Amino acid sequence: MRPPPVAVALTLVTLGGAASAAQGVVNAELGQRVGNATLGAVVNNLGGTLLIMVGLLVLPSMRSGLAALRRARLPWWSYLGGLGGAAIVVLGAYAVPVLGVAVFTIAQVAGGSLGGLASDRAGLAPLGRLPLTTPRIAGALLGVAAVALAQTGQPVGDLAVGVLLLAVAGGVGVALQAALNGRVSAAGSAAAGVAVNFFVSTPVVLLVAALAGAFTGPPVVWPDGWHLYAGGLLGVVIVASLVVGVRAAGVLRTGLALVAGQLGGALLLDVLLPGGPGARLPVLAGALLTLLAVLVAGRSPRSTIGAP
């Protein structure tokens, strides 16, 4: 199936970014209530995997896409995109308390921009090789600056260099996740790309949670509230939007559109959630600047696509 027009694809990614903001709130609250941050990630991935299993039963496109992947004979590393998603979920649980929300977010987006530029340059995504051009570099830098602006007033922790580099690496992992999942979806189907992502990421999250002792100790008292268990559904939406975006617009612009949606979603949640801080001008400005970064990064001439 051909990818949608770029504007449509990036709109879907922006909506996926808003879902990502909601997912972060849900997983954090669940982890806090059960007393273990990694259990939020476990519920998130198990919920997404359960939805994928249902999809295998009811979606012919998922079954046919997975069958097409067996015939495509992609390199083994093409299927590792889910590791990037697992990495950022686990890293976030441990890095945010050290670095604070603001520094972690900026480091993650910086890593995502670097990873997006590198992935596009290497041609990892199905769109082909996109060279480093002034507009693309400017868009990446503008995106990082926009996120830094949006984090004004957020808590800042210790500037631990090792943890900071891990946060940057997590952002790179997210960019690689989008690129490789897009590659898989191009060889099979979008539904197959989402399925492979969860089949790879969920065992890793379970292993990390087990090593962290999440499954030992006293029995967990699971809280009420269906919304606390919606992380898996939101995760499927996010991964699906990234698969669509990467095939149409490349990794860098898809990542920037995701960040714009995350900031817009965070702003909306701040207004709607009880006890929230309300509308914050820095977040609004950051979201608008990130959308501008998406436009700036897209000014590369079409003729450069596929250039060495």
Lowest mean pLDDT among 48-52, 91-95, 278-282, 299-303: 299-303
141 assigned to some structural domain: yes
Total domains present in the chain: 1
306 assigned to some structural domain: no
pLDDT exceeds 80 at position 203: yes
Q: What is the largest CA-CA distance in the chain?
A: 61
Question: How much is the mean pLDDT over the chain?
Answer: 86
Taking residues 118-135, what's their average pLDDT?
89
Q: Which domain holds residue 20?
A: 6-215+229-298
pLDDT digits (tens, 9 = 90+) for 214-263: 888 788 889 998 889 998 999 999 999 999 999 989 999 999 999 999 88
pLDDT digits (tens, 9 = 90+) for 167-189: 899 889 999 999 999 999 999 88
pLDDT exceeds 80 at position 93: no
292 assigned to some structural domain: yes
Taking residues 271-297, what's their average pLDDT?
85
203 assigned to some structural domain: yes
Taking residues 1-27, what's their average pLDDT?
88
For 298, the enclosing helix (H) or strand (E) is: none
1 assigned to some structural domain: no
What is each CA distance from 227 to 16, 92, 224, 233, in whole angstroms?
Answer: 17, 21, 9, 10
Query: What residue has token string 């896409």?
Result: 65
pLDDT digits (tens, 9 = 90+) for 71-85: 988 999 999 999 988
183 assigned to some structural domain: yes
Cα torsion at 180, 182, 188, 192 (round to 10°)? Answer: 90
d(CA 272, CA 265): 10
Q: How confident is the model at residue 155 (pLDDT cuts 50, 70, 90)?
A: low
209 assigned to some structural domain: yes
pLDDT exceeds 60 at position 190: yes
223 assigned to some structural domain: no
